[in-house]
Amino acid sequence: MNTQEILAKQKQYLWPNHILYYTEPLPLDHGEGLYVWDVEGHKYLDFFGGILTTSVGHNHPKVVERVRDQVGKLIHSSTLYPQENHVNLAEKMAQLTPGKLQMSFFTNSGSEANEKAITVAQTYTDNREIVALRHAYSGGTSLTMSVTAHANWRLGKSFSPDIKHAVNPYCYRCPLKLSYPSCDLACAQDIEDVIRTTTSGRIAAFMAEPIQGVGGFITPPDGYFQIAVAIAHQYGGVFICDEVQTGFGRTGTHWFGISHWDVEPEIMTMAKGIANGLPMGNTITTAEVAQAMVGKGLSLSTFGGNPVSTAASLATIEALEEEANPQHTQMVGDHLQAGLHRLWEKYPLIGDVRGKGLMQGIEMVMDRKSKEPAPKAVAQLFEETKTHGLLIGKGGLYSNVIRIAPPLTATKEHVDEALAILDHAFAQVHESMGA
Contact positions toward ligand PMP, by CB under 6 A? 51, 109-111, 114, 137-140, 209, 213-214, 242, 244-245, 271
Rounded Cα distance, 421 and 358, in Å: 17
State which residue, 139 or 361, has the beta carbon closest to ligand PMP: 139
* CB of residue 125 to ligand PMP, shortest distance in Å: 21
Q: Of the two residues 258 and 271, which places its CB atom closer to ligand PMP in the complex? A: 271
* Shorter beta-carbon distance to ligand PMP: residue 283 or 337: 283
Nearer of residues 149 and 343 to ligand PMP, judged by Cβ: 149
Instruction: Answer whether 125's CB lies under 8 Å from 199's CB.
Output: no
Q: How far is the CB of 42 from ligand PMP (least distance, A)?
A: 26
Least Å distance, CB 142 to ligand PMP, is: 13
Nearest to 220 by CA among 268, 267, 174, 271: 174
Q: Which is nearer to ligand PMP, 214 or 377 (CB)?
A: 214
Closest by CA to 31, choosing from 18, 52, 10, 49, is 49
First to last CA, the chain: 41
3-state secondary structure 305-323: CCHHHHHHHHHHHHHHHHH
Query: Please, what is the minimum distance in Å from the beta carbon of residue 319 to ligand PMP?
Result: 21
By beta-carbon distance, which residue lies closest to ligand PMP? Answer: 110
Given strand 35-38, what is the order of strands in its sheet? 28-32, 35-38, 43-46, 390-391
Query: By C-alpha distance, which of 272, 141, 290 is closest to 209?
Result: 272
Q: Provide the minimum distance between the beta carbon of 329 and ligand PMP in the complex, in angstroms, as a whole number.
A: 18
Minimum distance, C-beta of residue 209 to ligand PMP, in the bound complex (Å):
5
Is 205 or 366 the residue whose CB approaches ligand PMP more closely? 205
Angstrom distance (rounded) from CA 285 to CA 273: 19
Q: Which helix (H) or strand (E) holds 429?
A: helix 412-432
Pick the closer one to ligand PMP by CB: 139 or 373.
139
* Helices 84-96 & 307-323 angle (0-180, nearest 10): 40
By beta-carbon proximity to ligand PMP, the closer residue of 213 and 305 is 213
Q: How far is the CB of 36 from ligand PMP (least distance, A)?
A: 19
The strand pair at 43-46 and 350-356 is best described as: unpaired
Determine the Cα–Cα distance for residues 5 and 8; give it in Å rounded to an integer: 5
375-387 vs 412-432: helix axis angle to the nearest 10? 120
Task: State the minimum distance, in angstroms, from the CB of residue 96 to ligand PMP.
Answer: 18
